[in-house]
Each structure stands twice: as structure tokens, then as C-alpha cells.
Copies of this chain bind each other. A is one copy, B any other.
Amino acid sequence: MVTIKDIAQRAGVAKSTVSRYLNGGSVSQKTRAKLDEIVKETGYTPNTFAQSLKAKHTKMIGMIIPRLDSYSANEVLASIDASLRDQQYQLLITNANQSIEREIENIYTLAKQKVAGIILMATIITEAHRKAIAEVDIPVLLLGQVGEGLHTISHQEYEAGFTMGSYAKNLGHKKYLYLSVFKEDVAVGQLRAQGVLDALKEGADRTVEVIETSFSFQEAYEQALVILPSTQATFIICATDNIAMAVLKAAHTLDMSIPQQFSLAGFGGYATTSIVTPSITTVKYPYKELGKVAVEQILELVSGKPMKEHIALPNRLEIRESTVPF
């Protein structure tokens, strides 16, 4: 039988390099190509499966995500996946497609699959959520939204909104437009929005119009096509970078110039916001950190240790080309 040692010898690299390669860690492209070749030739089979059959409990964590096309959810997921891997845990991911029923259903499904714990990125927390969490009797950790009495790791949403609002106010604009999302989403639809509005509220010569739009790029884009031609705002703050990107695209379509005609800002710190022209001012959220802390906490819960009920991570403003003084 071929072992990791055999492969290391054939490739002329250290055993730890092979191990890193097999675990999806960082390996040079040249070494990776060589190891791919050797694994292919030797038909090497890792014995993790054999190990997991021997183990008494499944070392698995279940995850419920709201959408498959969310940049932020994917960043958090990648970080959770890597951290769990470091702890020899596997991750089973299920999509709820922004449906409450599917969120609840997935809690039960994952419990039935005998995962050791569940990380839930919910949009809202209903009584049905609480009932399911109580019934499955395994640790459930909420991510992103705060559920009173439930274990939660979230972002400092109000502070993020307040930081952005204060920055915009200091640029001296008078007419603001805030593109929000539905209010049932407490983190984004309420806290983030309230932070923005509180920062902008003082001063009689300032007006802030709030319009509700959607997390969906396409829906936000179509709405922006209608809103932009008639808005008086010289500063548009969007509840997410995804919405800001949709507004940018709509401005392109309508031949409007940013930041000449209006300043534009978002929240999240999505990679794409730094590639587009103009690059978009945003509040950068620590998605990787959120994933890391989530794994630490769920594994504490799984091992029966207590955790603080609520942890909220800070974020920071990133000023880019899309925002200018009035």
C-alpha cells in the first residue's frame, strides 16, 4: 500500500508538504503538479475515511446558508471550512434559498444526519426557529443575526452604519439616498440602517430619503434604473456592496458619472468593489475572522463548554474613488 512517506520520497519533498497538499493547503504550483502526477500514478487513497469509520462520533458540523450567490456568505463559508478542516472536522452545507421553511427544515435534516453542531446564517429568527433549535438538542450557533437567548456571533452593524453616515456627513452633502433592505432582516434592514440614519439626522439642511430594495443584484439593478434619473441625492449609500454594484451598473447604463453626479458607497468590502471603476467606498467586514471565531465557538459548544451569548466583531471604513466632497 502506498503511504504519504512513499509519495514524499518519490516527489523529493517533505512529508509535511505532501500532507499540506492533500489537505488543500498552500503548495507551490510546481510541487502541486508533481504531486498530482504521483497520486494519479500510484492510485493513492487517503485513509481518512477508514479513520472516520473507526471514530465513535461523526466529526461533522452542519451549515445553513441563506443564498448560494452571496459573496459575504461564501467568504465566511470558506473560512469556516478551512478552520474546521484544521480541527479534523468536516462541513456539510445546505442552502435555505432565503426561505424560512427551508431554514427550519435544514436544522432538522442536519440533526438527522447526526452532525455535532449547526451554524445557521439566518435572515430572521422566528418562533419556529427557536422551536427547532430546542428540539434537535445539539448546539446551534447563529451567525450574522442576533437571537435573544441564542448563541450568536454577529458584526457590529449599527456601528458600521454610523461610521459610514458620519463619513458621508463630513463630506458636506445635503441630499442623501439610503437604499435599504426589508426590515425583517434585523442586522441589515434595521441596525445598519439605523446607524446611517442616526449619523445623518442632526442638521436641518440635510435630507435622507430611504427606499427599500433587494439583496438580489438583478432586482436592485432594475430598481436603480427607475430611481436614478429622478433622484436629487448627491450621495447614495447602499445597504450592501452588491446593491452598490447594481447602482454602478445602472449608472453606466444611464450614462451617469460617479462620483461627478453622485457619490456612492456600500457595506461589506466585497473583492469586486476594488476592481470596478470607480472603486467603491465601503465598510469592510471581517468575514474570515467571523468564520474563524464561529468555528472556535461551535467546537466549544460541542465539547460542552459555555460561550458568551453574543460576540460582535468590529469593521472598518475603506475610502475609495466613488465618494467625494459636495
Contact of A276 among B45, B92, B184, B276 (CB under 8 A): B276
- Describe A's contact surface by its main secondary structure: helix
Which chain B positions have C-beta within 8 A of A184?
33, 36-37, 40
In whole angstroms, how far apart are the Cα atoms of A225 and B100 in the complex?
A: 45
In whole angstroms, how far apart are the Cα atoms of A245 and B53 in the complex?
A: 43
Which chain B positions have C-beta within 8 A of A132?
45
Contact of A109 among B45, B52, B81, B276 (CB under 8 A): B52
Which chain B positions have C-beta within 8 A of A46?
101, 104-105, 128
Check: A99 CB closer than 8 A to any chain B CB: yes
Contact B97 A85 (CB under 8 A): yes
Contact of A24 among B98, B131, B276 (CB under 8 A): B98
Contact string against B for A residues 67-93, beta-carbon threshold 8 Å, 1 for contact and 0 otherwise: 111000011011001100100001111
Contact A99 B23 (CB under 8 A): yes
Copy total for this chain: 2
Which chain B positions have C-beta within 8 A of A101?
22-24, 46, 48
Q: How far is the CB of A228 from chain B (nearest CB, A)?
A: 15
Contact B100 A39 (CB under 8 A): yes
Q: Given A104-B46, A124-B36, A277-B276, A97–B68 Cβ distance below 8 Å?
A: no
Q: How far is the CB of A180 from chain B (nearest CB, A)?
A: 12
Contact B90 A39 (CB under 8 A): no
Contact B97 A82 (CB under 8 A): yes
Which chain B positions have C-beta within 8 A of A214?
29
Which chain B positions have C-beta within 8 A of A52?
108-109, 112
Q: Given A24-B98, A39-B126, A252-B277, A49–B105 Cβ distance below 8 Å?
A: yes
Instruction: List 28 A-B pairs, Cβ < 8 Å.
Output: A23-B102, A24-B98, A24-B102, A29-B214, A33-B183, A36-B124, A39-B128, A40-B184, A43-B126, A43-B127, A44-B128, A45-B104, A45-B128, A46-B105, A46-B128, A68-B74, A68-B77, A68-B78, A69-B74, A82-B97, A85-B97, A91-B94, A91-B95, A92-B93, A248-B275, A249-B275, A272-B275, A275-B276
* Besides A36-B124, A69-B75, 13 new A-B residue pairs in contact (Cβ under 8 A), listed by A number: A24-B99, A36-B100, A39-B126, A45-B132, A48-B105, A49-B108, A52-B112, A68-B74, A69-B74, A92-B93, A93-B93, A252-B275, A272-B272
Nearest 5 interchain pairs by C-beta:
A24-B99, A43-B127, A24-B97, A93-B93, A22-B101
Q: Which residues of A contact B (CB under 8 A)?
A: 21-24, 29, 32-33, 36-37, 39-40, 43-46, 48-49, 52-53, 60, 67-69, 74-75, 77-78, 81-82, 85, 90-102, 104-106, 108-109, 112-113, 124, 126-128, 131-132, 182-184, 212, 214, 217, 245, 248-249, 252, 271-272, 274-277
